Amino acid sequence: MNDSTGDNALCALDDVPDGGGIEAASAVLVLRRGDDAWAYRNVCPHFSIPLNYEPNTFWAYGGELVMCAHHSAMFRFEDGVCIDGPCLGARLTPVPIRMEDRKIFINDGGEKHEEGRTCSH
């Protein structure tokens, strides 16, 4: 999936379960609620380990929170802030994204990235 600049999309918005998340590219978590999407590095700030317990499986609650599978830290979709758990107040590292034709791209000013796998569920 390419955009008008030839960049590869992380995934299509519709590949991300509404109210959930998936892994995209290399260590990027994409979360979705309706037509809104957020992307973060898939690294818990508590112990610098992935948030998911198995590939492409995240615990999301009510389309509002994603939980670290290892220590139960809870992070808000919209800003990545930990609101409960051992790293209270810490944040997930955001990955800037943009959407074009319901496809999600890293919004990095045109820098090229190592091609990772595309989003799928």
3-state secondary structure 51-110: CCCECCECEEECCCEEECCCCCCEEECCCCEEEECCCCCCECCECCEEEECCEEEECCCC
Tens-place pLDDT, residues 16-70:
999 988 887 668 999 999 999 999 999 999 988 999 988 878 899 999 999 999 9
Is 0.85 surpassed by the pTM of this model?
no
**53 φ/ψ angles, rounded to the nearest 5 degrees:** -95, -20
Q: Which of 118, 76, 93 is nearest to 41 (CA)?
A: 93
Tens-place pLDDT, residues 60-71:
999 999 999 999
Query: Where exactly are the structural domains of the chain?
Result: 11-106
Superfamily of domain 11-106: Rieske [2Fe-2S] iron-sulphur domain (2.102.10.10)
